[in-house]
Structures are given as C-alpha cells and as structure tokens.
Amino acid sequence: MNSKLVILFIILSNLSLPVVSVVDDCGAQQYDACINKKKALPLKIIAIVSILLTSMIGVSFPLLTRSIPALSPDRNLFVIVKAFAAGIILATGFMHVLPDSFDMLSSSCLKDNPWHKFPFTGFVAMLSAIITLMIDSMATSLYSKKHKAALVLPESGGDQEMAVVEAAAHSHFHGHHHGSKLEVEGSQLLRYRVIAMVLELGIIVHSVVIGLSLGASNNTCSIKGLVAALCFHQMFEGMGLGGCILQAEYKFLKKAAMAFFFSVTTPFGIALGLALASSYKENSPRALITVGLLNASSAGLLIYMALVDLLAADFMGQKLQGSVKLQIKSYVAVLLGAGGMSLMAKWA
C-alpha cells in the first residue's frame, strides 16, 4: 500500500515537472549564471555594427559584380547568379519563416482554444500565397491592358498584340517584332522591380524578429555565438535579395536605398529589443500571435514568389529552355543557395 503511494507520488511529480517548466518558460525571465544585463550591452552594440556591415557586404556583392563584363544580363553567369539568389529566397521561406511560425503558433504559452485546434500557420501561408498570385495576375493584366491601348502598332496584326500580352503575363518572352520590343522589355523590367520590392518586404519580418530576440536577450553565454550566426545569416540572405535587386536594374541611388534598407533591418530589431527589453516578452501570447501570423503570411509570399516569379519564370523562359547544360548549372546554383540558407536555419 505504502509503496504504491510512493510510486503514485513519483509518477505525479514527474507529470507535474514539465508543466512547471512550461510555466517558467512563458514567464520569460530566467535566473542563471549566464544572465548579465551589463555584460550583454557591449555585445549587443558589437552585434549592431557587425551585422550592419556583413548585411551590406552580402547585399552589395551581387550588385558589385555588375561591373564584370561576364555578368551582363545576356551572359550565362547572370542567369546562374539569379538562380543562386532564388534558392536562398526559397529556403528563407521554407526553412526559416514557415517553421518559425509553426513554432510560435503551436507554443504551449498559447491557449488551447483556438490555437491548438487548427493549423493556423498553414492556413495563413496558403491564403497569403493565393493573395500574392491574385495581386500578381491582376496587376499584370491591368498594366498590359493600359499599355496595349496606348501602344501604337507600326505593322498592325493580332500576332504582335499577343506578343505584348504574353510577355507581360509571363516573363522572359522577348518580343521579336520591332514595335513591341521596347514595350515588352519595359513591362518585364517593371515586373522585376515590383518583385524586388515585395521580396524585400517579405524578408523584413524575419530579419527584424531575429534582431529583436537578440536585443531582448541578456544571456551572455549564447549571445556571442548568436551574433556570428546572424552575421552569416544576413550576409547570405543579402546575397539572395541582392540578386533580385540586380535584375531590377535600378539606378544607383535606388539600389543603394534598397540595400541600405535591408541592411538596417536586423540592427533595427536589436535596438528595438534593447529599448523594449523590460516590456517585450518573446513568449507572451500577444507577441507569439502577432509575430507568428506575420511570419506565416510572409512565408506564403516568399514561397510563391521564389517558385513562380523567380524559379519558374527563369527555368521555363527562353534562355534556359534553350540549353540543358545551362539548366543543370543553374540547378546546381539553386541547390547551393537553398542548401546554404537551410544550414543557417540551424542557428537563427
């Protein structure tokens, strides 16, 4: 009788252990030897500077290669750099943003109802992918309708109209009729520019959030490793974004503005985390839900754009369809980009 009671007690105490640790987790403040606010501050300032520098290096790297003749838009290397960048963006969506959202929205700190009753992450990511497609297709058809009306056809024929519409509707169709060629390239360029800007918005949430959690943390034992990981993370992601800015062919000032904007996102997150350190709790339900839902919608957007606007557009386009050898090289680049970014998911 007595021994049974003891066993029951052991089982009960074991059952209650994880519950207790979960409650501690949601309370956020932990007390152990590593927590030291004063020692953490200089590390965070080092983090702000070094992440700013490495992001700038990463994002300008593909842009600087522009001065190399082998990287002019008509050359093969340009296509391969773009494939590498697309791989990075795809892995950012699948390997960083989507799993983060799953983690947050299935956190034990959230109420059982509704958060554990329905896969919100998948639902929101799916909706976001559909909405991105909707905006993509409608904006394209509105644009081509407007410009088709304005277009003066020198040698009129339905054929030529088709070329404009088709090229606007899908990338890399270069019209070979004299009148429409400029027009087609114009709409293609506009498309690239919109893609670059939307992508920048899509990766911002993740960049700010990883900075935020570094800024709010006072754990001196883990901060050093985290700073190094974030430097590589932002450098790699910068290369992905840089590749997309490259094809948008912006003027210098616009390029610099986009590169700068990307570079400050994580340092901004760290500063924000520092400022909010007393009130911001990573595991509070409000933070989990807001960031979790934002992550889910940017995951849908990033995955759609990487697959449809970057990868499918290039691989189904004229240039890559013309050469299997170039296709294989580009696939290697996609795998390298996606693989490298996936590796980063181990740390942040």
Q: Which is nearer to Zn ion, 335 or 345 (CB)?
A: 345
Residues 6+ apart with CB under 8 A from 91: 337, 338, 339, 340, 341, 342, 345
Q: Rg of the chain over CA atoms, in angstroms?
A: 24
Q: Which is nearer to Zn ion, 168 or 210 (CB)?
A: 210
Q: Whose Cβ is closer to Zn ion: residue 184's or residue 348's?
A: 348
CB of 176 to Zn ion, least distance (A): 43
- Of the pair 241, 348, the CB lying nearest Zn ion is at 348
Shortest spacing between CB 222 and Zn ion, in angstroms: 16
Provide, rounded to whole angstroms, the least separation between the CB of residue 171 and Zn ion: 28
Token pair of 12, please? 């009960």
Coil vs helix vs strand at 121: helix
C-alpha 47/C-alpha 35 separation (Å) is 17
Mention every residue, 6+ apart, whose C-beta is less than 8 A from residue 34: 219, 220, 221, 222
If the CB atoms of residues 132 and 207 are measured against Zn ion, the closer one turns out to be: 207
Helix (H, G, I), strand (E, B) or coil at 346: coil
CB of 206 to Zn ion, least distance (A): 6
Positions touching Zn ion (CB under 5 A) are: 96, 348
Length of the chain, please? 348
Least distance from C-beta 347 to Zn ion, angstroms?
8
CA distance 42 to 269: 16
Count of CB atoms situated within 10 Å of the CB of 114: 9
| Residue, CB closest to Zn ion | 96
CB of 299 to Zn ion, least distance (A): 12
Contacts of 63 (CB under 8 A, 6+ apart): 242, 245, 246, 255, 259
Looking at beta carbons only, is 163 or 294 nearer to Zn ion? Answer: 294
